[in-house]
């Protein structure tokens, strides 16, 4: 079972920042927080992941709460191409089958021009 909770859908305006929330109140000390997104008619693609500290890459930023029970994916300037379903997933660093990606339903992000 997915161990994260995300809103079903969100809307954003083009060129504005987007904050996608994720709750994971039962996170364990060995869980990494991963984000993937799936554009229409495509396979999921990796966005970002982190453990405790905030992370930045060319696609997005990940802000992790101090207690790690929630996190936020930040798209700094949404474009129409960012319209997708965004999945927040916990991945156990202990590896093995516990490290397999288990997807929930994600958040469908719509971007308005």
Partner 1 sequence: NAGVTQTPKFQVLKTGQSMTLQCAQDMNHNSMYWYRQDPGMGLRLIYYSASEGTTDKGEVPNGYNVSRLNKREFSLRLESAAPSQTSVYFCASSEGWEFPSNYGYTFGSGTRLTVV
CB of 14 to partner 1, least distance (A): 25
Angle at 47 between CA 64 and CA 2, to 5 degrees: 65
* C-beta closer to partner 1: residue 49 or 63: 49
The owner of tokens 């300037």 is 77
Residues 58-87, mask of contacts with partner 1 (x by CB under 8 A): -----------------------------x
Q: For partner 1, which stretch binds (CB under 8 A), given 12-20, 44-52, 55-63, 65-73?
A: 44-52
Q: Which residue in 29, 40, 42, 66 binds partner 1 (CB under 8 A)?
A: 42
**Strand extents, DSSP E, 1-113:** 9-13, 18-23, 31-38, 45-50, 55-56, 61-64, 70-75, 84-92, 107-112
The residue among 70, 13, 75 whose CA lies nearest residue 48 is: 75
Instruction: List contacts with partner 1 (CB under 8 A).
Output: 2, 32, 34, 36, 41-46, 49, 51, 87, 91-93, 95-97, 99-106
């Amino acid at each position: 079972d997915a161990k994260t909770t995300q809103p079903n859908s969100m809307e954003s305006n083009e060129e504005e920042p987007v904050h996608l929330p994720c709750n994971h109140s039962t996170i364990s000390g060995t869980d990494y927080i991963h984000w993937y997104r799936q554009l229409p008619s495509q396979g999921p693609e990796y966005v970002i992941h982190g453990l405790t500290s905030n992370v930045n890459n060319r696609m997005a930023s990940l802000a992790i709460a101090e207690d790690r029970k929630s996190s936020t994916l930040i798209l700094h300037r949404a474009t129409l191409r960012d319209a997708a379903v965004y999945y927040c997933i916990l991945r156990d660093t202990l590896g093995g089958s516990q490290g397999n990606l288990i997807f929930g339903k994600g958040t469908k992000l719509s971007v308005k021009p």
